[in-house]
């Protein structure tokens, strides 16, 4: 029995090798189809990985609260000139809001208030624009930041607003290339800050920087939030400068930023409670701000779902294109194998005449189709790996090739050979031996 199968297999391979050019042309559809499957699945995996990385930077369990200009509504008569009954009683987003949310709402694992100031760094005659970020230690934990050296802010430094800072890896490389940064001072804006820590470098692509409001954290300087509010800027306080500026702009309708904080991130302990906690946070802030909606609440989980849906659609489209490529390749195999049957009628008749059964003829042509498909699949896998690597290098698009995608492509190639090789094999087996021997 096994000798019979081996003989059929040997005859099939001989037929493939005897017509190398025809076999190569037959396999082209499978080669490009398999390569397309691997390359497109790699692009889809890379896109998924990048999306998840972006969500991780923002925080999938976080509620992000950002200040906005007060939203106003009402009757037209209420907005007539001289009508000043309606007043903005909200003090904006403040540290007191953060403390109140932490104290009164269960399910909150941590709160990170932030103040962001456009500033510059000066050291040893070198100058560079930068961002000064006022934070607490919760910021580093919620944002998954890790220290390369040094330590986080102490309770005393946070409470008293001392002139200390933690710098990004990029700042350390530019201003402390030849020296140890810990204990040294940087002039940030108009104040000197002592460096107590350096963060590990975080690789962020250009797309990630522009998406979701993510910036280049490696070039930021981080100071205790009270240090920033006391020594730099506190928008919740009214100064003489503010009064003069307001008097100059009293005829304009431009709203001034009166919020003490630029962002407030609430980390929820259980992701399943994200929406519920967000609703309670919204109601609490509305009550504290005297029904003034001067904030925006964003839940990255919703963005994650939308991004995942986009990725699924993207993978579906890519898979459909690759599937069509394989279908075309399979049809090509069937057509050329049918043409091969017509060319080899005399050979088929001779085999039938000397005792070969119909199942032997079927096995021979199926094995030929499968051999061409598998060979084309192997070449297609190599081409697909090269395509994925080339896309990453030339187009700067992340690609991830998984063993599963390679195995899938290989199995699809073999299946295509079996399915599209059956019809030509049956046609070959139906040939009349006598008629076939007379065929010229």
Contact 373, 333 (CB under 8 A): yes
pLDDT for position 380: 87
Percent of the chain with pLDDT over 90: 24
Model confidence at 223: pLDDT above 90: yes
Range with the largest mean pLDDT of 9-13, 144-148, 165-169, 205-209: 165-169
Task: Indicate the pLDDT class of residue 5, thresholds 50, 70 and 90.
Answer: low
At residue 151, the pLDDT reads 94
* Whole-number pLDDT of residue 376: 83
Query: What is the reported pTM?
Result: 0.56
Task: Say yes or no to pLDDT of 382 above 80.
Answer: yes
Query: What pLDDT band is residue 40 in, cutting at 50, 70 and 90?
Result: confident
302 contacts 102 by C-beta, under 8 angstroms: no
Distances (CA, A) of 152 to 19, 164, 224: 72, 10, 10
Model pLDDT, residue 42: 85
Q: Tell me, what's the pLDDT at 214?
A: 57
Residue 419 has pLDDT above 70, yes or no: yes
CA distance 136 to 272: 26
- When pLDDT is averaged across residues 5-17 and rounded to a whole number, the result is 65
State residue 147's pLDDT score.
93
The Cα–Cα gap between 229 and 232 comes to 6
Average pLDDT estimate for 36-56? 74
- 207 vs 221: which has the higher pLDDT: 221
366 against 111, higher pLDDT: 111
Domain layout of the chain by residue ranges: 2-54+306-438, 61-300
Average pLDDT over residues 391-413: 81
Can you tell me the mean pLDDT for 195-215?
A: 69
What is the structure's pLDDT at 240? 54
What tens digit of pLDDT does each residue of 61-101 get? Answer: 788 899 886 555 555 555 444 444 444 577 788 999 999 99
Lowest mean pLDDT among 74-83, 248-257, 265-274: 74-83
| Cα–Cα distance, 317 to 315 (Å, whole number) | 5
Higher model confidence: residue 284 or residue 391? 284
- Phi and psi torsions of 188, nearest 5°: -110, 110
Confidence (pLDDT) at 208 = 52
pLDDT at 100: 92
- Check pLDDT > 70 for residue 274: yes
Residue 199 is predicted with a pLDDT of 94
Give per-residue pLDDT as tens, 150-199. 999 999 999 999 999 999 999 999 999 889 999 999 999 999 999 999 99
Q: Are 5 and 364 in contact (CB under 8 A)?
A: no
Greatest distance between any 2 Cα atoms in the chain: 111
C-beta separation of 386 from 435 below 8 A: no
Split at pLDDT 50, 70, 90, the class of 245 is low
Q: What pLDDT is attached to residue 367?
A: 78
Distance CA 162, CA 226 (A): 8
- Mean pLDDT for the chain overall: 78
């Amino acid at each position: 029995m096994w000798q019979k199968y081996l003989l059929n297999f040997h005859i099939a391979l001989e037929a493939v090798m005897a017509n190398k050019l025809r076999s190569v042309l037959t396999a082209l559809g499978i080669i490009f189809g398999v390569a397309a499957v691997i390359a497109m699945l790699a692009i889809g995996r890379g896109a998924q990985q990048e999306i998840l990385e972006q969500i991780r930077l923002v925080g999938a369990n976080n509620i992000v609260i950002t200040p906005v200009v007060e939203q106003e509504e009402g009757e037209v008569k209420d907005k007539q000139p001289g009508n000043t009954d309606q007043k903005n009683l909200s003090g904006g987003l403040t540290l007191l809001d953060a403390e109140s949310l932490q104290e009164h709402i269960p399910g909150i694992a941590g709160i990170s208030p932030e103040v962001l100031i456009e500033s510059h760094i000066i050291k040893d005659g070198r100058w560079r624009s930068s961002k000064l970020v006022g934070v607490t230690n919760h910021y580093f934990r919620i944002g998954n930041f890790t220290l390369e050296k040094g330590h986080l802010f102490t309770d005393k430094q946070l409470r008293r607003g001392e002139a200390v800072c933690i710098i990004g890896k990029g700042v350390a490389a530019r201003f402390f290339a030849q020296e140890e940064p810990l204990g040294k001072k940087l002039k940030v804006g108009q104040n000197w800050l002592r460096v107590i820590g350096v963060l590990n470098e975080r690789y962020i692509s250009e797309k990630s920087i522009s998406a979701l409001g993510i910036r280049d954290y490696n070039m930021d300087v981080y100071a205790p939030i009270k240090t920033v509010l006391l020594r730099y800027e506190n928008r919740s306080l009214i100064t003489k400068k503010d009064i003069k500026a307001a008097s100059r702009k009293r005829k304009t309708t431009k709203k001034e930023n009166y919020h003490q904080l630029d962002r407030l991130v609430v980390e929820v302990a259980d992701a399943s409670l994200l929406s519920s906690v967000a609703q309670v946070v919204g109601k609490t802030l509305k009550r504290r701000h005297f029904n003034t909606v001067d904030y925006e609440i964003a839940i990255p989980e919703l963005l994650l779902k939308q991004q995942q849906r986009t990725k699924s659609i993207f993978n579906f489209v890519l898979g459909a294109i690759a599937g069509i490529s394989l279908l075309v390749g399979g049809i090509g195999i069937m057509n050329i194998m049918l043409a091969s049957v017509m060319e080899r009628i005399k050979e088929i008749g001779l085999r039938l005449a000397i005792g070969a059964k119909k199942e032997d003829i079927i096995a021979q042509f199926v094995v030929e189709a499968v051999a061409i498909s598998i060979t084309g699949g192997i070449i297609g896998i190599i081409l697909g790996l090269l395509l994925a690597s080339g896309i990453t290098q030339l187009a700067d698009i992340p690609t991830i090739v998984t063993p599963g995608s390679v195995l899938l492509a290989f199995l699809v190639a073999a299946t295509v050979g079996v399915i599209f090789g059956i019809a030509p094999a049956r046609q070959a087996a139906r040939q009349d031996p006598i008629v076939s021997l007379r065929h010229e």
